[in-house]
Amino acid sequence: MNNNSNLLKGGMGVVLLILSAVILVVSLFVALTNLGSQGHASFNTSSTLPWGQPIATYLYFALASSGLGLLASLPLVFGFKQYYPVAKRCVFLAFVILISGMAVLALELGNVFRMLWAIPLNLQVQSAMFWMGVFYALDLLFLLWKFSKLDAGEWDSKTSKQVGIASFIGVLLASGNLALIFGMMSMRPFWFDGLLPIYFYFTGVTSGMAALVFFVYLAHGFSRDRMHPTLQSLLSGALPKMFAALIGGTLLFIAARAITGVYSNNPEIHLVWSDYLFASSLYHLSLWVGLLLPFLLMLNGNFRNQAGVQLLVSVLVFLGLFAERFYFVVGGQVVPLFKGTWYPDMIAYTPSLTEWALTFVGWSLALLLIVLGERFLNLSAMPDGVAESTSARPLAAG
Amino acid sequence: MAKWGMVIDLDKCTGCQACTTACAMENNTLPGESWQDVLFYHEGEYPSGQMKWLPRPCMQCEKPSCVYVCPTRATYKDENAGGIVFVDWNKCIGCKYCMIACPYGVRFYADEKPLIEPDMREVYPGQNKQLWSPPYQNPDEDWRRGIGIQPPGVVSKCTFCYHKVSKAPAGTVDFDEDNPAVKEYVPACVRTCAPKARYFGDLDAPDSQVNQLIGDKHGVRLKDHTGNKPQVYYLGAGAGVPAFTPADKGDKS
């Protein structure tokens, strides 16, 4: 693979590096200044709605990371060799996106440093949040280990395979458990759903795919001509079809949740859909423009394979699923819980400047780390056999 | 071993909020940080419209979902303290998961926008790691049990006034505010209740007044379907909590 084809190694990378660093410094400054002077009163969350946009941001990043981890397992665990050209980039993106999400979560907590000793020393194994710490720590470790193996060119060694399988299991446990943090809360009927892990896996892979497509194109200056033939082949073959299927599946999941929600007489589910989600023009925008439009575009065989369409779809899905996470987290809390007529209406919540700053901390940190990775690591690497194979012929699975 | 329980007679409650005020004074809580509140429920329309007052402390559940979700064991149920659910402010990381998991909405994260102006935290800035430091403070402080004024970034809740209850003579089963021997140990909300709608005592003592009331007057626990099994029981009509209905969508039936 010719490293020079990666535009981020050149001037464009420097520009993006500076841009992301500036956004990171400014947003971090705003967040830390406000948190330092006002504490968490600088958030628009409250005792009646304790989890806001920073949690949604963390959820988005954590699930996008898990989705990327699952995509990496296609070639590395399940032998879908046509996905080798994106495997290393998937693992790297999964790692840095998870780091960025964790940074946002850390700034959301009341006492972040206390977490470092209080969680491991008290071993509250009944808490899904305890397991979130365990599984995501393992996830990070395995991603790093797997990346180091790939970076050393060990694609098919026994250890590499074992680490790949361990990482795959780690991703399933981490994101499935993250779903159960919400899904096991029977007192919050909008979230309470034993199949929520499946929903999180599916939507996580979709957001991971959106991130992957966007950053693959970014690395190659939004031009498919600069890509290795095997990567070109993937982007005009198996990958867009899978992307289309993932968006379609995500829409099906949302439709199933919406239909059961609207049908239910339980106001804690029904009202969330009718008076909060479907009453919000932003939610409609995220649903129809962020998910349905991309799906329709990707259904068409001609559109699907065009670089511009793929790029547009990746951005729309990226934003659409971010909104989806936001409305999921907030939607579970908008019906006042046992507050009587003191709270006669649904709880209104709009993120504060500090909360938006934290979201930008996450995005800019992720972008910074990604550009650094693109500049200093060869993320387009793939096994020699795959790189040398005939570019025009799609590689068979197995 | 004692198991502290509270009985609230809704036929006697007048909704005067004296309990809420007494709790705030006793525990130095901020406006809006209502460890004890009297909820007001409005249901139906003329001619069958109802208004209900529902005093609501922490339910100190037998199966507290807040305890199970806490990743650091900062929230814990202390069977040696009568089954009261405490928050250890030295361990709480402020993740707020317990607030998500509590079906009764009785947990507070006071590090939030002030309910009223001026902001009491600015009027009386926090000292010695306290979130705020008003001039009068209850001298009892025990951060391992969430008693006193909390530091920033932790969750707070009703403690059944453990700092009072724990000082009662051994073997006390009925905390009657009219009994001079124990009145100092009665939880603030119970002691101040003018219509004497609240009772406090030992649910493990067969002859305790709380047990007799629950048995004789058909005490019920709120939201029993959650399985949390509160140690707070309600008597009388009005314990049925209506489902949430937005103000602009009143019951037209």
Concatenated DSSP letters for A83-139?
GHHHHHHHHHHHHHHHHHHHHHHHHHSSSHHHHHHHHHHH--TT-HHHHHHHHHHHH
**Closest Cα of chain A to B13: distance in Å?**
16
Chain-chain contact of A122 with B91 (C-beta, under 8 angstroms): yes
B-contacting residues in A 122-141 (Cβ below 8 Å): 122-124, 126-130, 132-133
**Closest Cα of chain A to B16: distance in Å?**
15
Can you give the residue ranges of every domain in chain A? 3-38+52-337+344-388
* pLDDT at A261 (0 to 100): 94
Structure tokens at A328: 């999921």
Q: What is the mean pLDDT of residues B55-70?
A: 96
What amino acid is encoded at A271 in this protein?
A: L
- pLDDT tens, A307-352? 999 999 999 999 999 999 999 999 999 999 888 888 888 999 999 9
Residues from chain B that touch A45, judged by Cβ atoms under 8 A, are 112
ipTM: 0.93
CATH number of this structure's domain A3-38+52-337+344-388: 1.20.1630.10
DSSP-based three-state secondary structure for A253: helix
Q: Is the pLDDT of residue A394 over 60?
A: no
- pLDDT tens, B187-214? 999 999 999 999 999 999 999 999 999 9
Q: Does B63 touch chain A (CB under 8 A)?
A: no
- Which of the residues A55, A124, A132 would you substitute to probe the B interface, choosing the one with the greatest number of B C-beta atoms within 10 Å? A124
Can you give the residue ranges of every domain in chain B? 4-238
* pLDDT at B68 (0 to 100): 96
For the segment(s) B4-238, the CATH number from 3.30.70.1350, 3.30.70.20, 3.40.50.1240, 3.90.226.10 is: 3.30.70.20
Q: Is the pLDDT of residue A397 over 60?
A: no
**Closest Cα of chain A to B64: distance in Å?**
12
A-contacting residues in B 121-150 (Cβ below 8 Å): 121
Chain-chain contact of B103 with A338 (C-beta, under 8 angstroms): yes
**Closest Cα of chain A to B90: distance in Å?**
9
B-contacting residues in A 195-254 (Cβ below 8 Å): none
* pLDDT at B249 (0 to 100): 66
Chain-centre distance of CA A373, in angstroms?
Answer: 18
CA B44/CA A282 separation, integer angstroms: 34
Q: Residue A398 — very low, low, confident or very high, per pLDDT cuts 50/70/90?
A: very low
**Closest Cα of chain A to B93: distance in Å?**
4
DSSP-based three-state secondary structure for A72: helix
Tally Cβ neighbours within 10 Å of residue A4: 9
Tell whether the torsion through CA atoms of A59, A60, A64 and A70 is positive or negative.
Answer: positive
Residues from chain A that touch B113, judged by Cβ atoms under 8 A, are 41, 44, 46
- pLDDT tens, A363-393? 999 999 999 999 888 888 888 777 666 444 4
- Which of the residues B17, B34, B70, B72 would you substitute to probe the A interface, choosing the one with the greatest number of A C-beta atoms within 10 Å? B72
Q: What is the mean pLDDT of residues A34-43?
A: 92
Tally Cβ neighbours within 10 Å of residue B196: 12
Nearest residue, CB atoms, A51 vs list B32, B96, B105: B96
- Whether residue A391 contacts residue A229, with contact meaning beta carbons closer than 8 Å, is answered with yes
* pLDDT at A395 (0 to 100): 44
Q: Residue A3 — very low, low, confident or very high, per pLDDT cuts 50/70/90?
A: very low
Count interface pairs A-B at CB distance under 8 A: 153
Q: Does B153 touch chain A (CB under 8 A)?
A: yes
Nearest residue, CB atoms, A188 vs list B33, B100, B110: B100
* pLDDT at A378 (0 to 100): 85
- pLDDT tens, A86-113? 999 999 999 999 999 999 999 999 898 9
DSSP-based three-state secondary structure for A3: helix
Chain-chain contact of B72 with A114 (C-beta, under 8 angstroms): yes
* pLDDT at A222 (0 to 100): 87
| Range from A24-33, A269-278, B129-138, B232-241 carrying the lowest mean pLDDT | B232-241
- Which of the residues A45, A51, A53, A111 would you substitute to probe the B interface, choosing the one with the greatest number of B C-beta atoms within 10 Å? A111
Residues from chain A that touch B108, judged by Cβ atoms under 8 A, are 47
Mark out the alpha helices in chain B (DSSP H runs). Answer: 18-27, 65-69, 97-101, 120-123, 162-165, 188-192, 209-216
Residues from chain A that touch B104, judged by Cβ atoms under 8 A, are 337-338
Q: What is the mean pLDDT of residues B10-24?
A: 95
Chain-chain contact of A124 with B71 (C-beta, under 8 angstroms): yes
Nearest residue, CB atoms, B94 vs list A110, A124, A337: A110
Nearest residue, CB atoms, A41 vs list B74, B113, B241: B113
CA A36/CA A380 separation, integer angstroms: 41
Phi, psi of A298 (to 5 degrees): -80, -15
Residue entry with tokens 């962020």: A290
Tally Cβ neighbours within 10 Å of residue A285: 13
- Whether residue A379 contacts residue A88, with contact meaning beta carbons closer than 8 Å, is answered with yes
Q: Which helix (H) or strand (E) holds B6?
A: strand B4-9
- pLDDT tens, A170-224? 999 999 999 999 999 999 999 999 999 999 999 999 999 999 999 999 999 888 8
**Closest Cα of chain B to A340: distance in Å?**
5
Q: Does B246 touch chain A (CB under 8 A)?
A: yes
B52/A181: higher pLDDT: A181
DSSP labels, A313-348: HHHHHHHHHHHHHHHHHHHTTSS-SS-GGGS-SPPP
Q: Does A118 touch chain B (CB under 8 A)?
A: yes
